[in-house]
Amino acid sequence: MGPVARSLAWDGCFNVRDLGGLETASGRRTRHGAVVRADNVRRLTEAGWQAALDHGIRHVIDLRFAGEAPDEDDAHPGVAVSSISLFGRHDPDAAKTFDDLLLTTDDIGAVFAAGYIRTLERAPQRVAEALAAVADADEKHGVLIHCFAGKDRTGIVAALLLDAVDVLDEAIAADYAASHANLGAVFDPWVARARDDDERETRSRSALSPAATMEAVLAWLDSAGGSRAYLADAGLTSAQLDRLERRLVEE
């Protein structure tokens, strides 16, 4: 049997990847069908939802702000949804500060990394809640994590999941970087609606996902004792950490 494709073509979404097939430090591989990362699954068509169900997904973890898209369709009735706003409440002032940094920086990767690390430092309980939702889901079915684009909030949680089961750093960073090629359909209309050149450039830069960003986040986690220690300090039990490994790593 040949390798199973990690990129998934689900109608209505553009940045869907299975977290299976990645090498761990012990030489094992992550399991296909266990966890999928995606952009906003509320955009899925009927055929897209059927593809998700056929892939085994029965639990969706939505990392967006409460009410981020108030007029969107409900999730498919065949999936349970856990809503956990990874970034807490939307803060317009913080968003503007971040956009200003993106526009003026010579190192976009560092700006993203600093924002992700700030979330890890200031909101460990929310981060742990997202990981706990994966750990506590029915092991017989797949879990999907998503936000708007499937890059930032989803990227943080996916990286922690993979790092906690000892996936190689270069594989985690490459998985994060893979989002950029998929996001044109998500970001291009938004970029086109920009009011001026500065806003257009800021929005274009917000779609980037340089590997150096996640390399910096992983280095920070290593300096803090590693992802498992971070998650344990944030409230995950040893049993939940063990369940994450059973879910994600092939025997």
Residues 20-29: tens digit of each pLDDT: 999 999 999 9
* Res 3 pLDDT > 90: no
pLDDT of amino acid 68 = 93
Instruction: Examine residue 27 and state whether it is found in any structural domain, yes or no.
Output: yes
In degrees and rounded to multiples of 5, residue 31 shows phi and psi of -85, 130
- pTM of the prediction? 0.96
Are the C-beta atoms of 143 and 134 separated by less than 8 Å? yes
Chain-centre distance of CA 77, in angstroms? 23
Compute the CA torsion angle 148, 152, 156, 158 (nearest 10 deg). 50
CA distance 3 to 83: 33
CA distance 202 to 70: 25
CATH code of the domain covering residue 117: 3.90.190.10
Tokens of 218: 């992983």
pLDDT tens by residue, 90-142? 999 999 999 999 999 999 999 999 999 999 999 999 999 999 999 999 999 99
Instruction: Examine residue 200 and state whether it is found in any structural domain, yes or no.
Output: yes
Instruction: Examine residue 40 and state whether it is found in any structural domain, yes or no.
Output: yes
What is each CA distance from 235 to 38, 39, 88, 144, 246, in whole angstroms?
A: 25, 27, 18, 22, 19
Instruction: Examine residue 8 and state whether it is found in any structural domain, yes or no.
Output: no
Are the C-beta atoms of 234 and 129 separated by less than 8 Å? no
* Res 1 pLDDT > 60: no
pLDDT of amino acid 15 = 97
Banded model confidence at residue 49, pLDDT cuts 50, 70, 90: very high
- Closest Cα to residue 133, out of 199, 61, 194? 61
Instruction: Examine residue 3 and state whether it is found in any structural domain, yes or no.
Output: no
Question: Percent of the chain beyond pLDDT 70?
Answer: 98
Number of domains in the chain: 1
Instruction: Examine residue 80 and state whether it is found in any structural domain, yes or no.
Output: yes
pLDDT of amino acid 12 = 97
* Res 251 pLDDT > 90: no
Chain-centre distance of CA 148, in angstroms? 10
Question: Percent of the chain beyond pLDDT 90?
Answer: 96
Structural domain boundaries enclosing 89 = 17-248
* Res 204 pLDDT > 50: yes
Instruction: Examine residue 10 and state whether it is found in any structural domain, yes or no.
Output: no
Banded model confidence at residue 2, pLDDT cuts 50, 70, 90: very low
CA distance 58 to 52: 8
